[in-house]
Amino acid sequence: MMSTKRDYYEVLGVKKNAGLDEIKKAYRTLALRHHPDRVSPEQKKEAEEKFKEISEAYAVLSDSQKRSLYDQYGHAGIDQRYAYEDIFKGADFASIFKNLGGFDSGSNIFEEIFGDLGFDIFGGDRKSSSHHARRGRDLQIETNITLKEAAFGCEKTITLPRYELCSVCKGEGIKPGTRKTNCPQCQGRGRVVFSQGFFQLAQTCPRCHGQGTIITHPCVKCKGEGRLRIRKTLTVKVPAGVDTGSYLRLRGEGEQGLSRHGDLYVIINILPEPNFHRQGNDILTEVEISMICAVLGGEIEIPTLDAAVKMKIPPGTQPNRIFRLRDKGIPDVHGRGKGSQLVKVKVKIPTHLSRKEQQFIEEFARASGKNFNSHGSIA
């Protein structure tokens, strides 16, 4: 008798040469879309059938041995214990996936998918540990530094609000001398189990939020939270070479969770500097020199991030010429050398000349073979 089953690749919407990651992604998308508890009651029966179909297809195509047999012989090549009817007929949800083979470990795609929905597909009595294991939130704060501080490194003092363990109850949330009691709704398991159709599902207990215990005598100081919001002051070492957008990660300086702190990310923002413009690890400075200095040459003083230095201007220097002062820039944050300071020369042309200065310029023009006429043009 010819099989009426659809092709497994067609069921998952993948090509026959699809890799395992692509198959897993396709299954995850379809399983979430057709989960019976995510559709309206009138669509539940259709969703259950569709869900069974895609789960069977994934069970075969995700197993290299079964997939090889299926590629060679089709549905007839798959052992009958993986047949649609045998897998799902009268079975509960946990046994379905055990029958599929290779999915009865505690960390698989089924738990990964249905964990997103808050379900334990195996409906066991395992107490949820995620609430206890949860670390605190990571925090982020910005700090401003000057360009000079970025060049040489610095220490900054920052203050941020965050949660810390309550000093009275040490994070337990209970009044000293009292104890937590088992949650009466889940009997201390942290999950409540219920059946729906052929599914047996477990969901985080809504009363104790998965902890398995409740507080009947809360701590007076933290009101049972186990944490208090405080303002924490920290000294942060900023390494030389950082730039705007760089960040420092301070492990364990974020908010206190139920077990440990998160991390703190300090985002660096470099304040604008009117006399210096950063270009990577180089610094650009503009200086103004006289026309005489540009023509005859000379020596000028250049401000740097460290201290002023002397720089020679060669005769005949043209406007906008750029000179390089090596190792006067920003050090590489990874320790790979240091940038330069680029000095761009602006030549100042006098706007008001005395009669004597004008005569000197005219004489210079004639000596250069140029004739200066009364209309202000040079021929």
pLDDT attached to residue 52: 86
User: Within a 13 Å sphere around the CA of 183, how many CA atoms are in the beta-carbon half?
Assistant: 19
Q: Which domain holds residue 26?
A: 8-122
Same domain for 168 and 288? no
In 10 A of CB 173, how many CB atoms?
21
pTM, rounded to two decimals: 0.55
pLDDT attached to residue 195: 67
The answer to the question of residue 128 being in a domain is no
Instruction: Give the pair of three-digit tokens for residue 206.
Output: 């809504």
pLDDT attached to residue 126: 41
What is the CA angle 114-117-121, rounded to 5?
Answer: 35
- Answer with the one of 253, 272, 291 that is the final residue of a domain: 272
- Locate the DSSP E strands across the chain: 119-120, 139-145, 154-165, 181-182, 191-196, 199-204, 213-214, 227-238, 247-250, 264-270, 277-279, 282-290, 298-302, 309-313, 322-325, 341-348
Domain count, the chain: 3
User: Within a 13 Å sphere around the CA of 252, how many CA atoms are in the beta-carbon half?
Assistant: 2
Same domain for 43 and 101? yes
Same domain for 252 and 160? yes
Same domain for 156 and 248? yes
pLDDT attached to residue 56: 87
Mean pLDDT of the chain: 81
In 10 A of CB 198, how many CB atoms?
16
* Positions of the chain with pLDDT under 70: 1-3, 37-41, 77, 79-134, 195-200, 370-379
Q: What are phi and psi of 316, to 5 degrees?
A: 80, 20
The answer to the question of residue 267 being in a domain is yes
Same domain for 59 and 86? yes
Same domain for 253 and 145? yes
Same domain for 154 and 264? yes
The answer to the question of residue 168 being in a domain is yes
CA dist 182 and 193 (Å) reads 17
CATH code for position 107: 1.10.287.110
The answer to the question of residue 374 being in a domain is no
The answer to the question of residue 153 being in a domain is yes
Same domain for 147 and 257? yes
Instruction: Give the pair of three-digit tokens for residue 117.
Output: 């929905």
pLDDT attached to residue 373: 60
The answer to the question of residue 193 being in a domain is no
CATH code for position 245: 2.60.260.20
